[in-house]
Structure 1
Amino acid sequence: MTVRVGWSAAVLVAGAVQLAAGWAGALAVLVFVAAVAVTYAIVLGAGVLRVPAGITVLVVLTVSVVGAHYVAPAAGPLDAVLDSVPRLLTAPRPAPATPELLVPGVLLVVAVALVSALTVAARALVVPAAGGAVLYVAAALLTAGQADPHGFGALALLAVIAVGWVVVDRPAALSAALVVGLAAFAVVATLLPARAPFEPRTLVTPPVTDLPVASPLPQLASWAARGDTELFRVRGPATPTRLVALADYTGATWRASSLYSPLGTVAPPRLPDGARRTETQVEVTIGDLAVPWLPTTGRPATTSVSAAVVDPDSGSMVLPSWPRKGFTYTVSSTVDAPEDADLLAAGVPDAAAARRYLALPGLPYSLAEYARRTVADARTPFEKAVAIEEVVRAGRTPEADAPVGSSYARLETFLFGAPGSPGAGEGTAEQFASAYAVLARAVGLPTRLVVGFRPVPPGAGGVAVVRASDATAWPEVYFAGWGWVPFDPVSGTDDGPGSASRRAVINRLATPTPTPSTPDTTGPPLPAPPTPEPAAAAAGSAARPWYLLVAGVPVLVVAVLGMLRAGRRLRLRRAGATGAWAYVLDSLLLAGRSPARHRPAPEIAADLAIPGAVGVAALADRAAFAPSPVPSGGTAWPLARQVRAELRRRVPWYRRVFWAVDPRVLWRR
C-alpha cells in the first residue's frame, strides 16, 4: 500500500512539474508539489479516521474554493474559480507566480490529486497515470506546446508510470505490453513535428482597459528643466529605454493610445514584428517618474507586473494604479534589429495596412512640397528616410528653452521660420522628431514617435541612473518584413540598425537642403487618408464561449462513466447468477461495505440481513460449483436488484448522488 501511494504521488509530481512551466520561476513547482502532498495527506488521514469519502471530497473542494476567493477576491467564491482561467489566459507568458495567477493551477492539481488519492487504495493504477497525463496536457495547452518542446518531460512521465505498473502489482505480461506501447507512443510523439499548436488564449476575449492618459511629449520640457532629477534606475544592458510610442497625429498634437489589454494576449499588432529581433531583460526601479507608463527596452514579452496592461499595437506598458517611488519590476523586451543589407532593399507596407501610421489630417501644402523636394533623388524607402533625417538636422539647433508643441504651425516655424523669430530653426527633441515623422508620412513612409530616454552607462553595481536630462523623443519608420527602425534627426545616428547603410546613402545622395523660402499657404492641401479609429486592444480571433467548454467537460465525464457502468451491468447480466452476485458486491463497494475477498458468498449474504441476499448468494454458489450448469439467472437478478435498492436506501444522500456514475466498481476485480 505504501509503495502504491508513493508511486501515484510521484506520477502526479512529474505532471505538476510540467504544469509549473506555465509560470515564471520555481515558486510554482514548490506550490504544486505541496498541493499534491497536502491533498494526499488529507485523504489518507481521513481514511485512517474512517471519515466517509464524500465528506473528505466536500471538505477539500470547499477549502480550495474558499481559499481561491481570499487569494483572488471576487464577487463570490465561485466567481473566483470561474474567473481564474480567463485571468491566467490573459496574463503574460510565462505568467508571474502571483497568488491570483497560481489559483487555477493549484485547483487543477488538487482536483487530480484528490481523485488519485481516493482510488489508489482500490489498486486503480490507471487513475494516477491519467492524472499525470491531464497535468501534462494542461501544461502543453497553457504554454502552446513550449512546456516540453523536445518531449523529455513526456518520456520522464511515461518512465515513472511504466516503473509503477511493472513494480507495484501488474502481471508481467500485461506490464510488458503496456511499457512497449508507451515507449512506441513516446517515440512517435517525439519525432512528429509540432506545427501550429492549439492556442487556448483564442477562446478568451481579453479585457480592455480604457485609460484616458495624456501624451508625455509635452513633459519633455519639464524634464529638461529638472535635469538632475532621478527618474528611475535600470539594471541591465545599456540601451535606449522606451516609455510610450505615439502613432496617432491630429495635426495639432500626438496622442497616446487609450485602449490597453493584459500582456500575453494573442492579438498581433497591425504591422507585424520584423524577421530579425533581439531580446533584452532589465530590472527597473521607479524614482520621480510620476507617469503611468512603465519604462521598457522594446516591445514587452514578459514582466513581473501582473497588473500591467499594454497597447497591443506598440507594446507601450501602463500600470493603471500608477507606479510609486521605489516600485521595482523586471521586463523582457524584444526589438527589431535588421541588418544593413536588409534595409537597403526594404519596402514599406501598402497604404491600407499602414493607414494609422500615414494619417496627416489637413496637411499644409508647404510641408508636403518640402517633403517631396527632400526625397527627389532617393530611389528606395530607406534612402528617403535617410534623406529626411539629414535635411531636418541640417542647419537647425537643439534648444531646451525652445517653444514646445507639435502642431503644423509650430513645425512650419521650426522648419521655415524667419531667423530671429521665436522657435525658428530651434527646437527640442519634440520638434525634431515630429518634423521628421510628418515629412516622412507625407512621402509614404509609415512613422511613429517614441518618447524615451538615452542609454546610460551602468554605474556602481551595474545599475544605470536615468535622470530627467536623459529624456528625449525619436521617430521610427516601419519597413515591410523588418519592423520599426529608429532615426535620430537631432544628432544623426552613428550606431544601431542600418548605421553603415545610412552613411553610404548620405555619401551617394549628398542631398542639399531644400530652400525653405516663405511657406506657400495658397497651395492645395495634400490629400490624406482619413484618421483611423484608435486600435482596439482585443483585436484577434473572435471570442468563443469558453464557459461552454468548462461546463461541457464535467458533463462529458459523467456521460462516459455512466456508459461504462451500463456496459459493466450488461456484462454481469449475461453471466447469469454469478454476475448477479457480482452486482451485489458492486453495490456493497458503493455503500462502503466491501467484504474481505476470502469470505464465501452465503456468509456475506447472512451478515447483510437484507431480504433476497441469501437467495442470490445460494443461486450464485450453485451456478459456480454445481456439477452441471444451473440456469438460475432469471431468478437471481430480481433478487440482486432488490438487495441493491436496499443498500442504496441505507447510504447517506451524498453517496446516492454519485451512485450511478461512481467509477470505483470499474476497477473491482
Structure 2
Amino acid sequence: MKTDLRTALKLTFAGFVACVLTTSLLYSVFDGDEWFARSIGGIVLVFGIGALARAGRFPGFSVPLLQVAGVLVYLTSTYAPDDAKGGWLPGEATLRTLGDLADAAFTEIDTVTPPLTPSESLTFLVVAGVAAMAVVVDLLAAGLRQTALAGIPLLVLYIIPAAVLPDGVHGALFLLPALGYLLLLITDSRERLLRWGVAVSGRADGARTRASGELGQMTRRIGVTVLSLSIVIPALAPRLSDGAFGSGGLGNDPDGGGTISTLNPLVSMRRDLVRPQDVDLMRVRTDSVNADELYLRAVTLDTFDGEEWRAGRREVRRFDTGLPKPIGLPDALATATVTTTVEALDALESDYVPMPFPATRLEIEGGWRVDPLTSNVVSHDGPKQISGSSYTVRSYDVSPQPTDVLPAIQIEPYLEPYLRLPADLPNRVKQLAERVTRGADTVLGRAIALQQWFRDPNEFAYDLRQRPGTGKDAILAFLNDRRGYCEQFASTMAVMARHLGIPARVNVGFTPGAPAADGSRIISAHDAHAWPELYLPGVGWTRFEPTPGSAQSNPDVPNWLAPQPETETPGGDEGPVEEATPDPQPTDAPGATAPPDPAAAPTSTACPPDPDVPCTELPPPPDDTDLTSSSGGGWGWLKWVLPVLLGLVLLLVPWAAREAVRRRRWALAGTAAAGGAAAEWAWAELRDSTVDLGYTWPEARTPRQTSAELVGDGKLGPRAADALAMITQYVERVRYAPSGTGAPAGPSRDDLRTAVDDVRRELGETAGRQRRLRATFLPRSLATLLGRAALRTRERAVAARRSVLRTLRLRRA
C-alpha cells in the first residue's frame, strides 16, 4: 500500500517530538542550556530535511544520506568553522578537528561524574549523538514504517543518564521517552490497522467503520502497556542507578571511591601547543630551590597497546588532604619538603590537578579523587571545577645521587604492567634501543644513554609540524624522520626503556613556565608537555627529559641526571639493521656539529629560512596532499573511497538478493517437471513485485478478486490487463481443476515471464519514481521471504525433534 505524503509527514512530526522529549532527559546529566539548544537545532535539521525530501519525492534511500550530510555541515559550521572551506564545507582538516573533539569528550566522560556543565568537546559529542539518534528514528518511523523498532534508539539515549548518574534516573523521567514512543505508535497504528483485510485499492469503507472501534481499543492497550513498562522497567533494573564512578559508582567501596577509565589526553596537550596565541593558565609560587625543574604532572599514561599510550582503568579514592605515599620512594630520600601554591586561571579546564611529584598533601576545594598507583588527582565534578580556584601542594624535594640508584632492578608484581609491550613491536625499535645503550651496564646508565641520544641535536630536532601519534607506526616514522615534539620523544623513550627491562610510563602536564616579576612563575598553554617516567631501583619513579630544547618551551633535565663523564652515548645508527628499512640520516643542516645552547631551537633544512622564525613558531601547515603522502604513502584517499564503496555494496545487497530470487523462480518454472507449478511461480513473482511497489496483496482473496483490484488500483492499460488476465486464468485452472486430470495446458515459461514484466511495468508507472526506486533497492518482499524461511526452518527443527523423540521411545519399548 502506498504511504501517502500526509502520513509520512505525520510520522516525521511524531518522531521529532519523541526525540525532543527523550533529549530532555539529558538535563539530569548536564547543566546549562547551550547543549540542549544545539541538540534541538540538530533534531530540527534532521527532521526538516526528511520532511522536505519526502515532499519533493526524493528516493527513500537518499533521505538519510541527505540528513547525514546536513548534520556534518551543521557540526562543521558550529565546532570547526576555522578548518572548513567557507566556514561550513567540511574537509580532511575538519574531520581531524571533530575527531579530536570526540577524543577529548570521551576522556571527559570517563573521568568525571555528572551532573556537570559540559565543555565544548562534550557538547559536540552530545549534539552529534542526538542527531544520529534523530536520523535513525526518522529512517525507521517515516522511511521504513517500522515504528516499533524506532523505540530502540530512544531507549539507547535513555540508558546514558540511567547508567552514569550516581543515584540513577527517577522513574518518572522515563515517561518522557515513553510518551514520545507512544505518540509514534499511535500515529502509525490507524493506517496499519485499516490495512488489515482492506482491498488493494483501499476503498473498503465498511472495513474502515469496523476498524475505528478496534483502533480505539488498540490505542488504549498500547498506551497502558507502554506507560506501565515505563514505570516497571526502572524498578526492575536497579543496576541502572550505578554511576560511572564516585560515591555510587561501579566498584565503589566504603571509602567512597570507584573506578575510572580514561582515554588519551595527548590530544588536549597538542591543541594547547599549537595555539596561534598563547594563553596563561596558572600562576605558581613555590619555595623550591630548583623552581626551574618543578614540573606539574597532571595525568599518567601507563598502558601501551601498540596503537597508543593511554591511562588504564584504575581505582580512585576519596581523600581529605593527605595523599598516599608514592610506591618505591625510600624514606631516606623523602625528607625535604616543598610547598607550592597554584592559582588556576579561568582559562584552565582540566579533569586532573596539575601538581609536583611526588606530592604528600593537597589542599583544594571541591570533589576530587586520587589514584594511589599514580598519585593522579581527578575531578568528581567536571573539568571546569578547577577554573579560577587556588590550591596548595606539599611535595618531596627528592635530590638523590647517582650512587643511590641500584645497578640492577628486581621486578615485583606491581611493576610488571609497566614492562608490557605488544608482541609485534618492530625490530628496529628494539635494535636502536640496544645500540644506544651499548656499553651501559646499569639501569641508570641505560636510562641516561637513551635520554642523551634523544637530546642530541645531531640526531633529533624538535618540530611541532609532525603528525600526532604514539603507536608503533608513529614511533617508526619518528625514528626515520628524526623530527617530532614531546609526544613522540616521551612515548618512544618509554617504549625503548620497557624493552630494556626498565619499567616506564608517560606523564602529561606542564613545564615550570617562565618567571614573573613578582617572584611567581606563569605557566601558559604552550608549556603543556609530555615526558617519560622511569622506575629506578633505590629511588622510585623518576622524571626523564628526552625532548630537546626549543624556542617555545625549554624542557630541562634534572640536574642529577646529567650524563656522567664515563657514560658514553653510542650513535643510534651503528652496525647493520636486520630490517629492510634503511637507517635514517639526520636532517639537520650541515655544520651543526657542536651542541647549541639548550634555549635555542635546532636548525635544519626543514625549518623556515628566516632565522627569526624558529621551528616551533609554525607557518601554515602543509596542504592535505603533503600530509597524506607523508604518512600514508599516497594511499590516504582510500579512507574516503572505501566507505563510499562499502555503502554502494550495502545498497546493492537487497537488490541482488531480490534478483536472485526472481531468477531462481523462473529457472524452476522452466524445468520439464514444473507442469502446473509454473503458474504458482509466476503468481508468486507477481505478488512480490506488487508488494515491492508498495501495494498490498491480501492472501485471503481469490486470484480473480486480486486481479480485478489490481486492474483498477494500478490503472492498467489493455496490454497489461490482458497479461494479468492470462496469468489469473492459468492459476485458477491449476488450483481448481478436478483432481486426477493432471496439470492443464498453459502458456510457456517465457510467456508467463513477459506477462509478469508487463504488469509490473505498468504498476510501477502508476506508483511513481520514488516507489520504483524503493522496489529496486529496498524490496519489501524480502522481509516476507525471510519470515517464511525462518518459519520453515523452525517447522523442520520441530519435526526433527519429534522424530528423534519418537525413535528414542521406540528404542526404550
Q: When the two structures are superposed, what TM-score results if normalisation uses the length of structure 1?
A: 0.44
User: TM-score normalized by structure 2?
Assistant: 0.37
* More RCO (CA 8 Å, sep 6+): 1
